[in-house]
Amino acid sequence: MRHFLIDTDTASDDAVALVMALNYPAVKIEAITLVAGNVSLAQGLQNALYTIELCGQKIPTYNGAAQPLLRPLKTAQVVHGQDGMGDIGLELSGRQADKGNAIDVIIDTIKAFPYELELVTLGPLTNIALALAKAPEIAPLVKQCTIMGGIGKGHGNITPVSEFNIWVDPEAARMVFDSGMKMKMVGWDISRNHACIDEALSEEIRNIGTPLATFCMDIQNVVKNFATTTSKLPGFDLPDPIAMAIALDSNVATLTEELYVEVIIADGLTRGQTVVDHTGVLQKTPNMEVVFEASREQFLAMLKAAVK
């Protein structure tokens, strides 16, 4: 049995990633921790709890940071909808988190499963940074931290050079990237290149006909317009789900390289830029396994299997 902890700012793509993890064999999700990002912490919690309930499961779920370490929270409701789940009228209220703080839960869970716990981060890295600051000794105990964030090679989605999760809390990202944890970075380039779902494919998935298939496609109601108009993609992309697919089955990542990656702490266009040292010119020890290519075929097969 594999042991996972998922940190998320649950909106329409995070929810699909949660469905994939919740329905994947031989993986036990020890906890889900919420962080503010796409939407407020409170909204993200409701979105996560709704998704878990729809999967017919009960997973310990905890509130974490309601804002970045130093900066005001900037949400992405323009991308995912006011409720983060496509504004399709889902009953996203009234559910309760478990008692406890996400930061302590992250620390305690890593220590409960030394060298076995697999972390997956789907939002800003605020919670992970706070856990590492409180208990730096956890860094070497994490088997693998798969991060949906940054850009391996290509352009950004919040500035021309920055990806949202890192941009929201660059200070936190810098702390995590410098922590010495075993990390794998699945940048937004992987999503735009290998995880775009056009109308025809969306219908094909919806026509699987299960409540989960319908849910996973319907909640993309707002992001599908943002993706096609602003991001100029052929359909909505699924960054968190393809990162989750890679965390669940490393074979989905078909090309990776251990490289040094630095997060830019700045304001303006380079805020949260992930500078990948592709040629080792900085002569710094690599801190990240950067994913450069992934199997769309394997990803889609896993996505369809999760919603059957």
- Per CB under 5 A, contacts with Ca ion among 164-223 are none
14 makes contact with ligand RIB (CB under 6 A): yes
Q: Which residues pair with 159 in a beta bridge?
A: 162
Which of 119, 121, 109 is CA-nearest to residue 35? 121
Dihedral sign (CA 258, 114, 66, 29): positive
Out of 13, 83, 169, 289, name the contact with ligand RIB by CB under 6 A: 13
152 makes contact with ligand RIB (CB under 6 A): no
Shorter beta-carbon distance to ligand RIB: residue 103 or 242: 242
Out of 123, 156, 187, 235, name the contact with Ca ion by CB under 5 A: 123
Torsion of CA 155, 265, 247, 105, to 10 degrees: -150
123 makes contact with ligand RIB (CB under 6 A): yes
**Of all residues in the chain, what percent are helix, strand and coil, respectively (each to 5)?**
40, 20, 40
- Per DSSP bridges, beta strands 61-63 and 117-121 are unpaired
Tell me the residue nearest to ligand RIB as measured from the CB: 164
Which of 52, 38, 30, 50 is CA-nearest to residue 8? 38
Binding part of the chain for ligand RIB, among 62-70, 161-169, 227-235, 294-302 by CB under 6 A, reads: 161-169
Partner whose binding site includes residue 50, from Ca ion, ligand RIB, none (CB under 5 to 8 Å by kind): none
Shorter beta-carbon distance to Ca ion: residue 128 or 259: 128
164 makes contact with ligand RIB (CB under 6 A): yes
Shorter beta-carbon distance to Ca ion: residue 108 or 231: 231
Binding-residue total with Ca ion (CB under 5 A)? 5
Partner whose binding site includes residue 245, from ligand RIB, Ca ion, none (CB under 5 to 8 Å by kind): none
189 makes contact with ligand RIB (CB under 6 A): no
Which of 14, 10, 1, 20 is CA-nearest to residue 118? 1
Q: What's CA 159's distance to the chain center, in Å?
A: 18
